[in-house]
Amino acid sequence: MKQTTSAFSRRRFLQGSAAGAGLLAAPAIISSKALASSGEINFTGWAGYPALAEKVFPAFTAATGITVNFKELPDQDTMFAEGKVALDAGGIDVIEPTIDRVGAWDTNGLLGAWDESKLAMDNYLPGLADGAAGERSRPGGALKYVPSNWGTESLVVNTASAKLSTPPSLGDLFNPENPSVVRPHSALAAMGRWLDATGKLPRPWMDGYSDMAAMTELWDIALAEAIKAKGSVVQWWSGENEANAGFTANGATVGLCWDSTGFNLRNDGYAYVAPVEGAFAWHQGFVLMKNAANVEQAHEFVKYVSTPEGAAGWASAFSSNPVGKGASDLMNPDVATYYNGTFNDEALSKLWWWPDQSAEFLAKRAEYADKYKAA
């Protein structure tokens, strides 16, 4: 009997289909992301605010089914560095810088544009996403930035031992009787604004932010004055830990710190005070990476943080202020009381928003901070 050999045997068929199935499944085997791109977002934000991952992200996932891959970084200079790497390597969809950096990030080609029709621009409180802030959010015309929360950098003072003028002023930071905790570049800006308010500058301090010649002229003066008063600085801070230790461990009585520092120390005999010149105010929000992979999900995410629940959760996590209408009713009453204790309507109207700072400005600013530190 002759064995017939068929070109298409049962065994061959099985082998072939197994290989085919393997090929089809390959993207899933090689990269889990190939299958999961429908429901995730890669978000790079601030480290040290655990309530985000504990409360806000689970609530967002419950509402939309999108999971958040959260990468925590300590400061936005590191975020910029990671963003620059991600431009080639991918892996980041949304980052959370402050508004004053958006210009520099945009000129570095990092940012893509948000699609306003997929967001709810009406959710935002007045003044945060429209008006001057709205213009700053649109470098080159398209919307590149939407807010997530905002807060202030102001005087943290030891209520018992700080020597304050009446009303308290940024100048109290440079009083030789007050051991102080500051960060170099903010201290120089505070010196500049104080000199400006007391009429000791040849031109307005704000000129320095738009004109580099004016910047060096003004910052030279501020640096010289700040160096004269440097003896009272007992601690530099760059993050929450050092700021806190400056007061508790190194005995500072006055500092120019974030609101969160003042909030954490509120029960230890420290108060958060708005200076007569107006507190520094910052505005933090979301930018979309130019090469973001999960664009739809990113819009969902950002939209969620503008709703009352999302905005309140975000602001509570940072001990700061919400961006969404109706969010303040949902906030932790502790935070609300703390803020209202510092900022009455007058103090609110005097808030000094950090202006845009170009890449060139930042480089020059770092030089001044360096000289101030080494002096």
Partner 1 sequence: MQDLLRRYGTGLTSVFCLLVAFWILVLIVLPNFAMFEQSFRPYLPVVEVGGPKDVYSFANYSKILDNGFESTIFGIPVTLPIHVLTFLDTVFFSALVTFFTLVFAYPLAYYLAKIASPRSIPTLLLLLFIPMWVSEALRAFAWYVILTFNGPLNAALKGLGIIEESIRWQNGIFTSYDAIVIVLTYCYVLFMLFPIYTAITSLDTNQIEAAEDLGSPWWRTHWRVVIPHAKPGIASGCVMVFMLSAGSLLVPTVVGSTKANWFPQTIYTWFNDALDWNTGAAYSMIFLLACIVFVILMMRLFRVKLSDIAK
The distance of closest approach from Cβ of residue 360 to partner 1 in the complex, given in angstroms and rounded to an integer, is 9
Q: Can residue 363 be called a binding residue for partner 1 (CB under 8 A)? A: yes
Structure tokens at 160: 């018992």
SS3 for the chain, per residue? CCCCCCCCCHHHHHHHHHHHHHHHHHHHHHCCHHHHCCCEEEEEEECCCCHHHHHHHHHHHHHHCCEEEEEEECCHHHHHHHHHHHHHHCCCCEECCEHHHHHHHHHCCCEECCCHHHCCHHHECCCCCCHHHHHHCCCCCCCCEEEEEEEEEEEEEECCCCCCCCCCCHHHHHCCCCCEEECHHHHHHHHHHHHHHCCCCCCCHHHHHCCHHHHHHHHHHHHHHHHHCHHHEEEECCCHHHHHHHHHCCCCCEEEEEHHHHHHCCCCCEEEECCCCCCEEEEEEEEEECCCCCHHHHHHHHHHHHCHHHHHHHHHHCCCEECECCCHHHCCHHHHHHHHHHCCHHHHHCCEECCCCCHHHHHHHHHHHHHHHHC
C-alpha 56/C-alpha 314 separation (Å) is 7
Binding residue for partner 1, selected from 18, 19, 212, 366, defined by CB under 8 A = 366
Considering only residues 74-133, where is the footprint of partner 1 by CB under 8 A? 75, 77-78, 80-81, 84, 87, 104, 107-110
Number of residues binding to partner 1, judged by CB under 8 A: 35
The distance of closest approach from Cβ of residue 107 to partner 1 in the complex, given in angstroms and rounded to an integer, is 5
Considering only residues 242-281, where is the footprint of partner 1 by CB under 8 A? 245, 248-251
Nearer to partner 1, 329 or 360 (CB): 360
Nearer to partner 1, 78 or 210 (CB): 78
Site stretch for partner 1 (CB under 8 A), options 44-52, 114-122, 261-269, 364-372? 364-372
Considering only residues 329-348, where is the footprint of partner 1 by CB under 8 A? none
Considering only residues 37-76, where is the footprint of partner 1 by CB under 8 A? 75
Nearer to partner 1, 233 or 335 (CB): 233
Q: Can residue 140 be called a binding residue for partner 1 (CB under 8 A)? A: no
Binding to partner 1 by CB under 8 A, coded x per residue (else -) over 284-323, reads ----------------------------------------
Q: Can residue 374 be called a binding residue for partner 1 (CB under 8 A)? A: yes
- Other CB atoms closer than 10 Å to residue 130's CB: what's the count? 14
Q: Can residue 144 be called a binding residue for partner 1 (CB under 8 A)? A: no
Q: Can residue 34 be called a binding residue for partner 1 (CB under 8 A)? A: no
The distance of closest approach from Cβ of residue 213 to partner 1 in the complex, given in angstroms and rounded to an integer, is 17
Q: Can residue 224 be called a binding residue for partner 1 (CB under 8 A)? A: no
Nearer to partner 1, 232 or 328 (CB): 232
Q: Can residue 375 be called a binding residue for partner 1 (CB under 8 A)? A: yes
44 and 92 Cβ atoms separated by less than 8 Å: yes
Site stretch for partner 1 (CB under 8 A), options 3-11, 166-174, 196-204, 356-364? 356-364
Rounded-to-10 torsion of CA 125, 127, 130, 131: 160
Nearer to partner 1, 37 or 241 (CB): 241
Nearer to partner 1, 192 or 278 (CB): 192
Query: Is the sign of the CA dihedral 32, 33, 36, 39 positive or negative?
Result: positive
C-alpha 126/C-alpha 315 separation (Å) is 17
Q: Can residue 212 be called a binding residue for partner 1 (CB under 8 A)? A: no
Q: Can residue 369 be called a binding residue for partner 1 (CB under 8 A)? A: yes
Q: Which residues bind partner 1 (CB under 8 A)?
A: 75, 77-78, 80-81, 84, 87, 104, 107-110, 185, 230, 233-236, 245, 248-251, 359, 362-363, 365-367, 369-371, 373-375
